């Protein structure tokens, strides 16, 4: 255990010491003597962000439901705490036991966002654990990782011992079982990794090598170890109703980003937006039944006392039993002042009776995500949303009394012209007109339209994985011309930092050669890159210069369709043929229907389910 | 009106939880315990609770108070049982009773009693007590910096004599001692434990480690607000 007395008084000098002490309601303390495997679930961002992550609550509950495993949590200490720890030789520790990370069997990082990679390094360093897998011997914890960014694991190939690809609720317990067996036989890291690499959904990067062409593209991938698979197929949970979901969630004492009960309605999405990685890699759609969700809500409210239930998914309005579920929950919880929230709602699919009922308990702002300003652009990205489908619900919302509206857009989309960019302004102004075009006596409240634009980042396993990202200057030009044009007191405009999106794009589609850049950038002091006030682009530019890496090779280069991509060895179920077809459609601005209407043969059903997708069967 | 006043503890790692967070945590606990709490009217209904003076971050306590309004009367023992079942061991309801609630907890609280355990390598407890006598009778004056209403930094002079009712240190072992102190709480403020510890350290007493436990909030007759 770390020196608690040393920590004790120092903690009072840092901001929000509750981030670093654990002891929350529903956190799990176990007797070390009964434990064979100690697992540190590591979230490479601050406590408040990590504690809002449902995946962490699932894995934490799942692993702790196994008697001989103790899963603890660890987050990235904020800079003030990092300084305290370094000045006082306090190593990074698990929040529950206060034991230093080195004493654990596994450190499992979740990869939610490319810009958190330097935090992974910082956490390993604070734990006195070497960065590179090859420098970590048999007596050092295994460093594993999973989550959405693991679909392109290559930039971390030197650092992580083993990746889990896909959904790991079933895979992780199997991996733990294997570890337990191997440990009892006399531990050898390499032989464990060899056995693990035979499992479906496990990727061990050290068993492969990559050879490059003179132009920097990939020539070929070589399998170095006979146990390793040529292609790694993602794992999925076939029946979410039978899959583990925690009955209790840890209740933080301090305010966190999402402070509420989270119900996961379904996984996957049928919409097929071409920019969206989640919409491709989480296929197929698998819904939970109302009964399952209702009883999960009950136990989670009982165990936390939260006053809000969030119904989440990639597109909650598409849940086939949404109104049934919402009405059931509202009926039960209205009296107890528990409210419902529905993030990720496409308002075209929304029945306003539900929104109205929700509003009875508590009123919040409404968010619409048209993503692009013109119909042509929305067709390119396959948003499948007409202007009427945006303005209609907006008008309904105004009539119901809403007066604050957020509009989300992207700039830098493939094939975008200045007309498309300025179309964002046009659309925002049309929304404004909808507010004032109503009879005078209906106009209540103070209209506020918040328009925000993020910069498009092409992601692996999307139809846009081949396209070039706009350059930093181009993105600035587009953002600034919008800023100039939007001159209305009722409409505010903000945009995402293009430099950050550029870097995100580098790592999203990066290859093995970026591992060293991560380490060098960390050495220069890069951490919390996703935080504006911490992000230091100059250090990144220096890093790439020193290592002779051209970042625009990754971000601003269009790929040929036959180029070997760094993530091609992963099979996410959706075929490359489908992605190419969709890419070609995007160039023609041809839309592809929602796959609840027509199957577009993405291939996920053939590989992962055998037969047709569940949502089609139900219909 | 149904109003319960409760005395509760806040110990262990909960000493790092700020007053505002405690407030929210207790409200959630009331919810988990299915207590028929009363809510305010309006768009953002909130539970009707009120609390005593905020405890400084880093201090533990077995003498914290809050009041809760109810929609219907329930047995006090039932309330305590239900609450303690959902509260962590570091925070437990110690006692509770119905109150007419005419005077707020803060108005009723006139004194606060603390036990401060100190550890040291080399410290003369007798001369520490001499210094305490000085604080009590002659008075030690120090400056407190704070922001005024216009957000400007101002300095305020504090005399320990006006804010300490009782103060004594007892040696408990070779390198440990226990300080018992009773501070006055007045409308114009009170002395803070961290200021008190700083005065001791500034005087040259070298303390290696300490813990602070608030024992009780006392009314003007030096009686605990709730037995």
A206-263 residue pLDDT tens: 999 999 999 999 999 999 999 999 999 999 999 999 999 999 999 999 888 887 899 9
The answer to whether A428 and A389 have CB atoms below 8 angstroms apart is no
Helices (H) and strands (E) counted in chain A, each on its own, are 22, 19
User: Both tokens of residue A150?
Assistant: 């693991």
pLDDT, tens digit, 9 for 90 and up, residues A140-152: 999 999 999 999 9
Tell me how far the alpha carbon of residue A80 is from its chain's centroid: 26
Q: What is the pLDDT of residue A361?
A: 47
d(CA A473, CA A501): 12
Which parts of chain B register pLDDT below 70? Answer: 43
Q: What is the pLDDT of residue A163?
A: 98
d(CA B192, CA A151): 54
Domain boundaries of chain A, sorted by first residue: 4-233
Kindly indicate the confidence band of residue A34, based on its pLDDT and cuts at 50, 70 and 90: very high
The answer to whether A354 and A326 have CB atoms below 8 angstroms apart is yes
Q: What is the pLDDT of residue A344?
A: 63
- A100 pLDDT more than 90: yes
Least confident of A79-93, A487-501, A519-533, B32-46: B32-46
Q: What is the pLDDT of residue A3?
A: 87
Q: What is the pLDDT of residue A180?
A: 97
Contacts with A17 from chain B: Cβ below 8 Å? 16, 57
Q: What is the pLDDT of residue A363?
A: 53
CB-based contact A337 B25, cutoff 8 Å:
no
A22 touches chain B (CB under 8 A): yes
Kindly indicate the confidence band of residue A401, based on its pLDDT and cuts at 50, 70 and 90: confident
Alpha-carbon dihedral sign for residues A93, A303, A244, A238: negative
CB-based contact A12 B57, cutoff 8 Å:
yes
Taking residues A263-271, report their average pLDDT: 94
Concatenated DSSP letters for B123-168? --HHHHHHHHHIIIII--EEEEEEE-TTS-EEEEEEEGGGTEEEEE
Least confident of A250-254, A441-445, A537-541, B173-177: A441-445
**CA quadruple B26, B29, B31, B34: dihedral, nearest 10:** -130
The nearest CA of chain B is from the CA of A10 a distance in Å of: 10
- A43 pLDDT more than 90: yes
pLDDT, tens digit, 9 for 90 and up, residues A110-122: 999 999 999 999 9
Q: Which of A9, A22, A336 sits opposite B31 (nearest CB)?
A: A336
Provide the whole-model pTM: 0.94
Q: What is the pLDDT of residue A341?
A: 81
Kindly indicate the confidence band of residue A358, based on its pLDDT and cuts at 50, 70 and 90: low
- A611 pLDDT more than 80: no
SS (H, E, C) A356-404: HHHHHHCCCCEEEEEECCCHHHHHHCCCCCCHHHHHHHHHHHHHCCCCE
Closest chain A CA to residue B37? A336
Closest chain B CA to residue A360? B43
A-interface mutation test, from B17, B21, B56, B197, most A Cβ less than 10 A away:
B17
Q: Which of B21, B39, B58 sits opposite A253 (nearest CB)?
A: B21
CB-based contact B14 A253, cutoff 8 Å:
yes
Contacts with A20 from chain B: Cβ below 8 Å? 16
A-interface mutation test, from B14, B30, B32, B48, most A Cβ less than 10 A away:
B32
The answer to whether B167 and B136 have CB atoms below 8 angstroms apart is yes
User: Both tokens of residue B89?
Assistant: 């061991």
Q: What is the pLDDT of residue B154?
A: 86
Element (H, E) at B74: none
- State the architecture of B2-107 in CATH terms: 2-Layer Sandwich (3.30)
Q: What is the pLDDT of residue A359?
A: 60
Q: Where in chain B is the domain with CATH 3.30.70.580?
A: 2-107
Closest chain A CA to residue B28? A305
Q: Looking at the domain that runs over A4-233, which CATH code has it been given? A: 3.40.50.280
B177 touches chain A (CB under 8 A): no
Q: Looking at the domain that runs over B111-218, which CATH code has it been given? A: 3.30.70
Least confident of A164-178, A492-506, B34-48, B128-142: B34-48
The nearest CA of chain A is from the CA of B206 a distance in Å of: 15
CB-based contact A305 B29, cutoff 8 Å:
yes
Q: What is the pLDDT of residue B126?
A: 95
Q: What is the pLDDT of residue A133?
A: 97
B-interface mutation test, from A5, A10, A23, A362, most B Cβ less than 10 A away:
A23
What 8-state DSSP symbol labels residue A317? G
pLDDT greater at residue A155 or residue A617: A155
Q: What is the pLDDT of residue A400?
A: 79
**CA–CA distances in Å: residue A410 to residues A206, A453, A474, B121:** 37, 5, 13, 63
Mean predicted lDDT score pLDDT of chain A: 93
Taking residues A358-363, report their average pLDDT: 55
Contacts with A21 from chain B: Cβ below 8 Å? 13, 16
């Amino acid at each position: 255990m770390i020196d608690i007395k040393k920590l004790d008084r120092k903690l009072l000098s840092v901001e929000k010491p509750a981030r670093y002490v654990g002891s929350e309601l529903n956190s799990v303390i176990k007797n070390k003597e009964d434990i064979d495997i100690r697992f540190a679930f590591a979230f490479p961002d601050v406590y408040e962000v990590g504690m809002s992550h449902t995946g962490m609550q699932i894995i934490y509950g799942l692993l702790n439901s196994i008697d001989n495993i103790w899963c603890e949590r660890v987050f990235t200490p904020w800079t003030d705490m990092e300084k305290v720890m370094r000045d006082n030789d306090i190593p990074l520790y698990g929040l529950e036991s206060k034991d230093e990370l080195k004493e654990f069997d596994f450190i499992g990082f979740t990869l939610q966002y490319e810009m958190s990679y330097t935090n992974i390094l910082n956490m390993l360093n604070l734990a006195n654990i070497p960065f590179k897998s090859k420098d970590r011997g048999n007596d050092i914890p295994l460093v594993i990782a999973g989550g959405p960014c693991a679909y392109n694991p290559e930039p971390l190939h030197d650092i992580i011992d083993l990746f889990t690809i896909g959904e790991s609720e079933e895979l992780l317990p199997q991996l733990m079982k294997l570890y337990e067996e191997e440990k009892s036989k006399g531990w050898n890291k390499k032989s464990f990794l060899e056995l693990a690499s035979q499992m479906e959904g496990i990727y061990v990067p050290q068993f492969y090598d990559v050879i490059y062409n003179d132009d920097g593209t990939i020539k070929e991938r070589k399998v170095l170890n006979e146990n390793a698979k040529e292609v790694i197929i993602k794992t999925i949970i076939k029946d979410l109703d039978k899959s583990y979901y925690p009955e209790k969630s840890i209740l933080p004492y301090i305010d966190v980003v999402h402070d509420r009960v989270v119900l996961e309605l379904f996984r996957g999405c049928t919409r097929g937006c071409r920019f969206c990685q989640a919409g491709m890699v989480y296929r197929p759609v698998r819904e939970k039944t109302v009964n399952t969700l209702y009883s999960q809500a009950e136990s989670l409210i009982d165990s936390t006392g939260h006053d809000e239930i969030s119904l989440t998914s990639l597109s909650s309005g598409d849940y086939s039993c949404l109104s049934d579920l919402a009405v059931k929950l509202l009926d039960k919880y209205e009296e107890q002042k528990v409210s419902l929230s529905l993030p990720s709602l496409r308002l075209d699919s929304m029945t306003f009776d539900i929104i109205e009922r929700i509003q009875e308990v508590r009123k919040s702002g409404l968010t619409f995500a048209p993503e692009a300003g013109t119909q042509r652009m929305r067709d390119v990205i396959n948003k499948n949303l007409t202007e009427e489908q945006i303005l209609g619900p907006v008008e309904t919302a105004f009539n119901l009394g809403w007066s604050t509206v957020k509009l989300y857009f992207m700039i830098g989309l493939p094939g975008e012209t200045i007309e498309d960019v300025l179309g964002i302004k046009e659309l925002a102004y049309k929304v404004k007109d909808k507010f004032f075009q109503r009879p005078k006596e209906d106009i209540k409240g103070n209209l506020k339209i918040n328009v925000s634009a993020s910069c498009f980042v092409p992601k692996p396993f999307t139809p846009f994985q081949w396209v070039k990202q706009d350059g930093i200057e181009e993105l600035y030009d587009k953002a600034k011309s919008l800023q100039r044009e939007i001159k209305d007191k009722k409409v505010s405009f903000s945009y995402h930092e293009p430099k950050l999106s550029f870097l995100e794009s580098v790592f999203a589609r990066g290859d093995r050669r970026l591992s060293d850049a991560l380490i060098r950038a960390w050495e220069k002091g890069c951490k919390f890159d996703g935080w504006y006030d911490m992000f230091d682009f100059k250090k990144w530019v220096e890093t790439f210069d020193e290592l002779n890496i051209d970042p625009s090779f990754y971000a601003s280069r269009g790929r040929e369709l036959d180029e070997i991509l760094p993530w091609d060895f992963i099979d996410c179920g959706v075929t490359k043929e489908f992605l190419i077809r969709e890419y070609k459609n995007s160039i023609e601005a041809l839309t592809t229907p929602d796959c609840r209407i027509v199957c577009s043969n993405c291939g996920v059903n053939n590989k992962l389910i055998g037969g047709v997708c569940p949502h089609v069967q139900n219909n | 009106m149904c109003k319960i006043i409760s005395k509760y503890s806040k110990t262990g790692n909960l000493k790092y939880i700020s007053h505002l967070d405690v407030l929210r945590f207790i409200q959630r606990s009331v919810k988990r315990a299915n207590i028929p709490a009363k809510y305010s009217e309006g768009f953002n209904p909130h539970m009707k609770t009120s609390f005593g003076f905020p405890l400084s971050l880093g201090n533990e306590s077995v003498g914290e108070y809050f009041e809760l309004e109810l929609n219907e009367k329930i047995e006090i023992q039932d309330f305590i049982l239900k609450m303690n079942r959902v509260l962590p061991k570091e925070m437990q309801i110690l006692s509770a009773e119905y109150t007419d609630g005419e005077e707020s907890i803060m108005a009723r609280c006139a004194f606060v009693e603390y036990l401060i355990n100190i550890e040291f390598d080399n410290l003369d407890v007798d001369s520490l007590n001499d210094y305490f006598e000085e604080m009590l009778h002659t008075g030690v004056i120090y400056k407190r910096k704070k922001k005024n209403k216009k957000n400007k930094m101002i300095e305020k002079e504090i005399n320990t004599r006006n804010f300490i009712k009782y103060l004594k240190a007892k040696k408990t072992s070779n390198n440990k001692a226990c300080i018992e102190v009773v501070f006055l709480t007045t409308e114009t403020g009170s002395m803070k434990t961290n200021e008190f510890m700083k005065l001791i350290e500034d005087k040259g007493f070298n303390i290696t480690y300490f813990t602070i436990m608030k024992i009780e909030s006392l009314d003007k007759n030096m009686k605990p607000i709730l037995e």
